[in-house]
Amino acid sequence: MAGREVEAVWVEKYRPTSLAEMVGQDAIVPLLRSYAEKRSMPHLLFAGPPGTGKTTAALALARDLYGPEWRQNFLELNASDSRGIDTVRTTMKEYARTSPFGAVGFKILFLDEADNLTSEAQASLRRMMERYSTSCRFILSCNYSSRIIDPIQSRCAVFRFRAYPTEAVRTQLERVAQGEGKKVTAEAMETILTASAGDMRRAINLLQLAGTHAETVTGDTVKEYATTPLRREVEGMLSAAMTGSFLDARDRLYRLFSERGASGEEILRAIHGYLPEIAESVLPAREKVRLLEYLGEVDFRLAQGSSDRIQLEAVLAHLAAGRPTGK
């Protein structure tokens, strides 16, 4: 039993079991706690980036609402696994139409990654939310609320989850480290906070990777496992590009892909976060604005499936040529 506990995924092991235990999202948690206290709630829509507590909030709300009977009144489905209309008409319908167990007058159906549902499936889901609202409440979770049809959004209380503030991530990491008997150096903590960029899941997973075979987690150990490009590496790449050394900048970009294992989206996010802090002598304010606008276009292309390397090489080429707008 003890062996299993040590091998457990820390994200799940230290997931808050009550809304009172959640850190961060201070504008959302109090409202959810009021729903649990009143034993009444509307349909909910949780929108926000990955790792910001959407699933945790849904599970904690169910535990606070139903107590020991929460499993009998809570069903979790992932729309990315079954995104068609048949799933809505069968699995969801069968669950929504049955009576709740216990004193609370409704059950909860939690649909994760609801923005992956087809438009036909969402239309069927909207009808189901109307028909079975007395016996079942729906909590929909998504990364992009714009992909949820308006008729569903209008029937839900929308909660927008934001990336966790640094101190909230730090507090949770310290709690996890203490629970696992690990020492985390100041450099390691700062490296994790930078690499996770407000994603609690990523931060805890990185801490577990770095602390698996050592009692003390150091900055060097974290860097071995961090897939997100670190600030120093991004600064070096951009500095090379802005001084006209395109080939050097491209080599640094390739190392981020091959050695760091970073994705195009992660590298672009790191570039976006660093550019506003560049001194005026390096890049004038007007050029910063134009470049940030261009980065938005690149982000859209990546989301549409364009090549990571080609798009980011283009960003470096524009910087090296002194044409951040690409014009």
Is 316 found in the same domain as 173?
A: no
Under 8 Å between Cβ of 42 and 156: yes
Same domain for 34 and 139? yes
Look at residue 30 in the predicted model and tell me its pLDDT.
96
Identify whether 105 is part of a domain: yes
127 and 275, same domain (yes or no): no
Residue 293 lies in a domain: yes
CATH number reported for the structural domain that contains residue 239 in this entry? 1.20.272.10
Mean pLDDT to the nearest integer, 263-267: 85
130 & 208 share domain? no
Alpha carbon separation from 133 to 32, 40, 94, 172 (Å, rounded): 18, 12, 14, 36
**Is there a single domain that holds both residue 140 and residue 109?**
yes
pLDDT for res 264:
86
Q: What is the pLDDT of residue 288?
A: 78
Same-domain status, 138 and 271: no
**For residue 102, what pLDDT is reported?**
84
Residues 267 and 244 in one domain: yes
The verdict on 83 and 122 lying in the same domain is yes
25 found inside a domain:
yes
CA distance 47 to 289: 28
**pLDDT tens-digit map of 138-160:** 999 998 898 899 999 999 999 99
| Residue 7 confidence class, pLDDT cut points 50, 70, 90 | low
Among candidate residues 183, 207, 225, the one where a domain is terminated? 225
| Residue 113 to residue 87: CA distance in whole angstroms | 14
- Predicted pLDDT of residue 282: 66
- % of the chain at pLDDT higher than 90: 51
Query: Does 267 reside within a domain?
Result: yes
Question: Is residue 183 located within the same domain as residue 219?
Answer: yes
Q: Which of 117, 136, 160 is the last residue of a domain?
A: 160
Q: What is the Cα–Cα distance from 140 to 137, expressed in whole angstroms?
A: 10
Q: Based on the domain organization, do 190 and 241 belong to the same domain?
A: no
Q: Is the pLDDT of residue 185 over 60?
A: yes
Domain count, the chain: 3
pTM check: above 0.85:
no
Q: Which residues contact residue 155 at a Cβ distance below 8 angstroms, ignoring those fewer than 6 apart?
A: 42, 43, 126, 129, 130
Q: For all residues of the chain together, what is the average pLDDT?
A: 87
Looking at the domain assignment, is residue 284 inside a domain?
yes
Whether 142 and 12 share a structural domain: yes
pLDDT at 61 over 60: yes
Query: What are 72-125's pLDDT values in tens digits?
Result: 999 998 876 655 566 677 788 888 888 888 889 899 999 998 988 888 889 989
**Stretch 167-193: mean pLDDT:** 93
Question: 300 lies in a domain?
Answer: yes
Q: Using one digit for the tens of pLDDT, what is the confidence trace for 281-295?
A: 566 777 778 888 888
128, pLDDT greater than 50: yes
Does the pLDDT of residue 327 top 50, yes or no? no
pLDDT higher for 270 or 33? 33
pLDDT score recorded for residue 121:
86
Mean pLDDT computed over 289-309: 87
Mean pLDDT computed over 175-183: 93
327, part of any domain? no
Residue 28 and residue 151 in one domain: yes
Q: What is the CATH number of the domain that holds 49?
A: 3.40.50.300
Give the per-residue pLDDT at 108.
96
**CA distances to 45, 48, 201 from 166, in Å:** 25, 17, 13
Non-local CB neighbours of 13 within 8 Å, separated by 6+ positions: 5
Alpha-carbon span 169 to 5, nearest angstrom: 23
Give the pLDDT band of residue 269 (cuts 50, 70, 90): confident
Q: How confident is the model at residue 2 (pLDDT cuts 50, 70, 90)?
A: very low
Angle subtended by helix axes 308-320 and 264-274, to nearest 10:
30
Would the pLDDT of 259 be above 70? yes
pLDDT attached to residue 1 = 41
- Mean pLDDT value across residues 50-68: 95
Angstrom distances, CA of residue 218 to CA of 133, 173, 207, 266: 51, 14, 10, 23
Could you give the residue ranges of the DSSP H alpha helices within 214-263? 219-225, 231-242, 246-258
CATH code for position 171: 1.10.8.60
* Range(s) of the domain holding residue 84: 2-160
With respect to residue 298, please indicate whether it lies within any of the assigned structural domains: yes
Mean pLDDT across 301-322:
87
